[in-house]
Every structure is written in structure tokens, then in C-alpha cells.
Structure 1
Amino acid sequence: MSKRRASINPDQLGFTFDPPPLARRAADLAGMDKMIAASVGLALKEDGRSREEIAGAMSALLGEQVTKLMLDAYASEAREAHNISAARVLALIAATNRFDLLDAMVRRIGAALLVGEEIRTAQLGHIDTEIARLKAKRREVAGVTVPIRGGRQPRPPVVPGRAGAGAFGRRPWPLWLPLLARAPADARHGGGRIS
């Protein structure tokens, strides 16, 4: 008779930076109840305290009675009618400090678990990502910038097609000035006579 494959492999526990795939396909979560029962069993087995003591710690956390017999049932993969509730799974994880087991569970749905101050490591990575994004944006903007003028602003240029109109529609010179520049010398000075 072949040995039954374990629902959870203790050698594969521990945080990794490999992004888990999201559970989206049919049967992605098949066998999850057995994995949770195996996780309960592993947490109880490797804790070092008796199941009565662990049940007492869980009871204190939850504010409700958890017994050794309940833990025995939750740890049995064969007893499908005695699945542990989410609240009690979390209480067991907190009481036994086995966040690696919870991480293995949430990875089945495509998530990962950070505990306590580990969030600072994620925050640092987020800050570095934001710095890189802002540097890239800075390079993009730097390629199209011009220096900002200081002091007094120069007079705006004449807009083509507006017959010499300057700022606010004013004409910076009289209309007759360009005509005078093109007129013959004697016409400009009244035919050469000084009056």
C-alpha cells in the first residue's frame, strides 16, 4: 500500500519572494480543507506544549472555550465534518506563532503574509520603487524643460498676422512707421524742404 501524500510539506514552509499565482481556475482550492487540517496537526505537534495548554491559549485569545478534543478533530484530515473555523485557525496561528503555516495557506489563493515589523521591509521596497518611478519621470520631464526666467519679464513677441499687435492688443509702434521707412527720402522730409 502506497503512503498517502502529505497535504503540507514542512520543507516548503518559510517566506519566499516568488509571487504566488492567483486562484482563478476550477479546482485551484481543491484539498484546501485537508491542507488546513494538516497545518493544524503540524502546529500542534511541533509546539512543545500539550494540546490542553494550546487550547487554553486559544480560548484566552478568542474569549470562548476551545478544548483538546476540538483540536484533535481539527487536526484530523479524515474527519471532514469537523473543519476548523477561520477564527480558530487564526487563534491557533497566534497561539503557536506559526505564521509560516498561515503563509502557506494564503499562498494557495495568491497572497503572501508579512508579520509585524516585516511590513517595514515591504515599505522600503515600495519606497525604492517610487523613487525609481519618480527618477524616470524626472528624466522624461528634463528632456523637454527650458530654464525659468528670473527678474523682469521680456516684452512678449509680436504675434504674426496681427499687424504688429503686441501684448494686450496694443500696437508697439504707429501704423505709419513701416510706411515711412519705405517712402522715398524726399517724401520723408517734405521734398527736402525744411519748414
Structure 2
Amino acid sequence: MRIRGDDRTLDLLNWEPPKVVHRFEVDHVRAATLRAQISKAVAVALKDCGKNRDEVAQEMTDYLGETTGKNMLDAYASEAREDHVINVVRFMGLVHATGDIRLLQLLAEPFGLAVVEKKYLPAIDEAMDVDRREALAAELDRLDQRIAVRRKHRRGTP
């Protein structure tokens, strides 16, 4: 008789921490130009969102209060349509309609920034405080050394 394994206990070795920063796979958005990279990202976001382009266009229209059609989304997602680069307002509408924050990360990365959820801000603030405290402690150590050297010289101790 075969013994069944315990299916109620979590396997700690299979656990992976949640992603803090969501980004596109490099191969999915690799392109020769920024314009082409944005087009690829738009195409991937549209494909991955689980909605058809008509639905996304309607959600963008509702959110922005201006008409956005499927044909416009097709143009934004096409690398060949260099004359149709998505503007920032419609980009925000696309993020809203698809729920894909990887689009925001694509904009932040070239500037050395990351898009993170607000819930992580306290941990980031704490890490920054720890870094600052360590820098201050190192500065205090340097000051203590300078003071000790000056005191030795003042007392005539080599």
C-alpha cells in the first residue's frame, strides 16, 4: 500500500518571495529603439491582460473620457507604425485598463528608478534610515580617530 504524502504542509524549499518590482522579460521587449521597445511592451501588455483589444479600448475610453479604438491600440502595438507612438495620457489609460504595472517600470528603469507598491514604502524608508545610520556611524568613527590623534599630539605622545 502506498502512503500518501502530507498535502497540508507547505514545502519551504519551493517558496519564492513575491516580486517587489514587476518588469517585462528582457527578450519580450528587446528592440533597437525606445519607440520600438514601447510598441513591444504595449503589445505584450495587451496580450497578457486577458481582455480583447475592444474591451481594453472601451475601458481606456471610459477612464480617460476620450475615444480610444481598437485600431489605435493596434497602431500603438505595431513596431512598423512609427508615426503612432502612444502618448502619456493614453499610456496611463492603458495601464489602468490592463492593470499591467510593468508598463510603468519600463519608463522608470532607464532613470535608475523602480516602481513599487505603496505597501513596501515603509520597508524602503527603514532601509534608507539604516543606510544613513551606518554612514553616520562611520563618520563618527572617523571623527573619533581624528580626535584621538590630535589628543596624542597635544600630549606629546607619539
Question: SS at the partner of 2:80?
Answer: coil
Shift of residue 102, structure 1, vs aligned partner: 2.5
Query: Residue type matched to 2:56 in 1?
Result: I
The structure showing larger relative contact order (alpha-carbon pairs under 8 Å, at least 6 residues apart) is: 2
Question: How far apart, CA to CA, are the structure 2 residues paired with 1:138 and 1:10?
Answer: 43
Q: Work out whether 1:11 is the aligned partner of 2:11.
A: no
* RMSD of Structure 2 on Structure 1 (CA): 2.7
Contact 2:24 2:102 in 1 (8 A): no
Answer yes or no: is the 8 Å Cα contact 1:55–1:66 preserved in 2: yes
Report 1:145-160 matches (<5 A): none
- Check conservation: 1:57, 1:95, Cα contact below 8 A: yes
**1:16-36 residue CA offsets vs partner (Å, 9 max, x unmatched):** xxxxxxxxxxxxx96111111
Q: CA deviation at 1:140?
A: 4.1
Q: How many angstroms does 1:99 deviate by?
A: 1.5
Distance 1:128 1:32, change over 3 A: same
Task: Work out the CA distance in 2 between the residues paired with 1:30 and 1:12.
Answer: 13
Aligned pairs, number: 122
**Gap runs ≥5 in structure 1:** 1-8, 14-28, 146-195
Aligned-pair CA distance for 1:37: 0.8
Contact 1:37 1:83 in 2 (8 A): yes
Matches within 5 A, 1:52-131: 52-131=54-133
**Structure (1 or 2) with the greater helix fraction:** 2
Moved more, 135-144 or 53-62: 135-144
Give the CA deviation at 1:86. 1.4
TM-score, with normalisation over the residues of structure 1?
A: 0.53
SS of the aligned residue for 1:117 comes to: helix
Q: Is the 8 A contact 2:41 2:103 kept in 1?
A: yes
- Residues 144-183 of structure 1 correspond to what in structure 2 (within 5 A)? 144=147
Cα offset for 1:110?
Answer: 3.8
Q: Which amino acid aligns with 2:72?
A: M
Give the Cα–Cα distance (whole angstroms) in 2 for the partners of residues 123 and 36 of structure 1: 31
CA contact (8 A) 1:58 1:66 kept: yes
Structure 2 spans left out of the alignment, 5+ residues: 1-22, 149-158
| Percent identity over paired residues | 31
Tell which structure's C-alpha radius of gyration is larger: 1
CA 1:105 to 1:63, structure 2 compared with 1: closer, same or farther past 3 Å?
same
Does the CA-based 8 Å contact 1:58-1:92 persist in structure 2?
A: yes
Deviation at 1:39, TM superposition (A): 0.7
User: How much has 1:125 moved relative to structure 2?
Assistant: 1.7
Letter in 2 for 1:131: R
SS in 1 for 2:113: coil
Contact 1:99 1:115 in 2 (8 A): no
